[in-house]
Structure 1
Amino acid sequence: MSLELFHSQVMPIRPKLYRFAYRLLNNEQDAQDITQDAMLRVWNQQGRMAELQNLEAWCMRIVRNLALDRLKSKKYRNTELLDKADTMQASHQSNPHLAAEQQDVMDRVHRIIHALPEKYRTIIQLRDIDGFSYQEIADILELTMNEVKTNLHRARKAVREQLQNIQVYGLQ
Structure 2
Amino acid sequence: MTSSAFQSLILPFRQKLYCFAFRLLGNEEDAKDVVQDAFIRVWNNREKMPELQSLEAWCMRITRNVALDRLKSRKYRITDDLDRAGEVPSVHQTPHQHAEKSDMMRRVHAAIARLPEKYRTVLQLRDMDGLSYQEISDMLEIGLAEVKINLHRARKTVREQLQNLQVYGIQ
If the length of structure 2 is used for normalisation, what is the TM-score?
0.94
> How far did residue 96 of structure 1 move?
1.2
For residue 3 of structure 1, report the CA deviation from its aligned partner.
Answer: 1.9
8 Å Cα contact 1:138/1:148 also seen in 2 = yes
RMSD: 1.3
Alpha-carbon distance in structure 1 between the residues aligned to 2:106 and 2:123: 16
- Alpha-carbon distance, 1:94 to partner: 3.0
Asked whether the equivalents of residues 82 and 110 of structure 1 are also in contact (C-alpha less than 8 Å), the reply is: no
Question: What is residue 110 of structure 2 aligned with on the other side?
Answer: 111
Query: What's the CA shift string for 1:29-71, capped at 9, x where partnerless?
Result: 1111110000111111111111111000100110111111111
Letter in 1 for 2:122: I
Kept in 2, the 8 Å contact 1:21–1:67? The answer is yes
Instruction: Report the residue type matching 1:24 in the other structure.
Output: L
SS of 2:93's equivalent? coil
1:159, distance to aligned residue in structure 2 (A)? 0.3
1:76: Cα distance to partner? 4.2
In structure 2, what residue type is equivalent to 1:10? I
CA contact (8 A) 2:27 2:81 kept: no
Alignment of 1:41-80 (within 5 A): 41-73=41-73, 75-78=74-77, 80=79
CA distance in 2, matches of 1:117, 1:93: 36
Q: Which residue of 1 aligns with 2:93?
A: 94
Which residue does 2:119 correspond to in 1?
Answer: 120
Q: Structure 2: which 5+ runs fail to align? A: none
Contiguous gaps of at least 5 residues in structure 1: none
TM-score by length of 1: 0.94
Would you say how many aligned residue pairs link Structure 1 and Structure 2? Answer: 170
Q: Which residue of 2 aligns with 1:8?
A: 8
**In the aligned structure 2, how far is the partner of 1:150 from the partner of 1:94?**
37
Shift of 1:80: 1.1
Counterparts of 1:93 and 1:161 in 2: how far apart (Å)? 30
